[in-house]
Structure 1
Amino acid sequence: MTTVVLADDEALLRKALASLLPLEGDITVLAEAVDGAEAVSATLTHRPDVLVVDLEMPGVDGLEALAEIRRELPDQVVLMLTRHARPGVLRSALRLGVQGFASKSAEPSHLAAVIATLHGGGRWIDQDVSAAAIVDDSPLTDREIDVLRVTGAGYSVAEIASQLHLAPGTVRNYLSSAMQKTQTSTRHAAARYAREHDWL
């Protein structure tokens, strides 16, 4: 049997998966979470074999939730669900040790098979996810992407520095470089530009 925590802000999809996954495989859903903060809490409480987490959630997104979980549970197995496989996001997720990436439009039977693969120690990236992520025209470095992602959430330079464990001056340097590359005049404009071009 494989135990799972499901985290997705789309109630209909989350409830459907919670009902269907146990019918498709030997899967027990221990808890559901509606956002990243709940995903962290539920995962640390229940310690599932596999965390199935949506990439894009309000407040704390899937990547931020995973970074927090990794501090407590460095070996947590994770299947990330996404509609938009942006190259920068895929790189960030892989850096955080995500073992699996699947499309949110995948059939429950496919997700059940992927969960079993991950629980068995394997890795999986859906073909449509990897194909979309191969086309990478981003001029931004991984660190610039990290800084812009946090900037996009509305944090100050000091808060960004604290979250990413960097010096404030280093954050300013990354932001300045990203603003030059995106030809924008503020860090928020740079984050917006990068998101619009699928670089984050």
Structure 2
Amino acid sequence: MNSSAVTSVLVVEDQSLVRDAIAMLLSLEDDLNIVAKCSNGQEAIEYLNSAEAPNIILSDIEMPLVSGLDLAAHVAKQNLDTSLVLMTTFSKPGYIKRALGLGVKGFILKESDSDYLIDAIQKVSAGEKVISAELAIMALDDNNPLSQKEMSALKLASDGLKTQDIAHSLFLSEGTVRNYLSEAISKLDATNRVDAARIAKQKGWL
């Protein structure tokens, strides 16, 4: 990265103390400029709809209303000229593959030290991809047995929707939805759809 270039950063984190601490830390760097702070992905999307996209969006993954992965999906769908760096305290390998599939450029653990975080943002700004070594190793070991349709049905089931509602949402017959849920339960060696959803969420597949 050109030493005279300033990288604009949007910080998205639901815990206010963490959000403010990260923003303060990054603002101490001459080549980083914090343009806004948001408490969840929904606020971030509203910001992106009303302002020029920043060079970097530094976002937590698990947040209320709209998650970091949902935010990444929005950025990809809108083809916004920004690079996403996701932070997590949860070692869920499924997150990594989903994030990379959405074009996320950086994936780091919140436990990383401040120098690593700053270096990661600068590298992503320069066009590189950064993934914490621990997370990369976990991603390689991750084998999600669920199909996309099984995951979609399971996700809606975990949100409390009944079979009829899931079928309506996915434009499928109730019988097909039952088959998808049954397959998911079997593949995950779960006792029921709630248990299957719990297992899938723990893995980061939902």
- Taking structure 2 as the reference length, the TM-score comes to 0.81
Count of residues in Structure 1 that have an aligned counterpart in Structure 2: 195
Answer yes or no: is 1:82 the counterpart of 2:88. yes
Answer yes or no: is 1:180 the counterpart of 2:189. no
Q: Following the alignment from structure 1 to structure 2, what is the Cα–Cα distance between the partners of residues 183 and 27?
A: 47
The Cα offsets for residues 43-78 of structure 1, whole Å up to 9 and x where unpaired, read as 333311011110111222111122123222344310
Structure-1 residue corresponding to 2:75: 69
Structure-1 residue corresponding to 2:43: 38
Flag structure 2 segments of 5+ consecutive residues without an equivalent: 1-5
Matched residue of 2:128: which SS?
coil
Structure-2 residue corresponding to 1:168: 172
Structure-2 residue corresponding to 1:189: 195
Structure-1 residue corresponding to 2:28: 23
The aligned amino acid for 2:11 is L
- Does the 8 A contact of 1:6 with 1:51 survive in 2? yes
Structure-1 residue corresponding to 2:166: 157
Task: Give the C-alpha shift of residue 184 in structure 1.
Answer: 4.0
Structure-2 residue corresponding to 1:113: 119
Task: Give the C-alpha shift of residue 106 in structure 1.
Answer: 1.7
Q: Following the alignment from structure 1 to structure 2, what is the Cα–Cα distance between the partners of residues 159 and 18?
A: 43
Matched residue of 2:28: which SS?
helix
The Cα offsets for residues 92-125 of structure 1, whole Å up to 9 and x where unpaired, read as 1111110110111122222121111111111010
The Cα offsets for residues 118-168 of structure 1, whole Å up to 9 and x where unpaired, read as 11111010112212333325432355345534543445415753xxxxx43
Identical pairs, percent = 32
Q: Following the alignment from structure 1 to structure 2, what is the Cα–Cα distance between the partners of residues 107 and 77?
A: 21
Structural mapping, 1:55-66, within 5 Å: 55-66=61-72
- Taking structure 1 as the reference length, the TM-score comes to 0.83
Flag structure 1 segments of 5+ consecutive residues without an equivalent: 162-166
RMSD: 2.6
Which of 139, 147, 154 is 1:148 aligned to? Answer: 154
Q: Following the alignment from structure 1 to structure 2, what is the Cα–Cα distance between the partners of residues 40 and 140?
A: 29
Matched residue of 1:121: which SS?
coil
The aligned amino acid for 1:157 is I
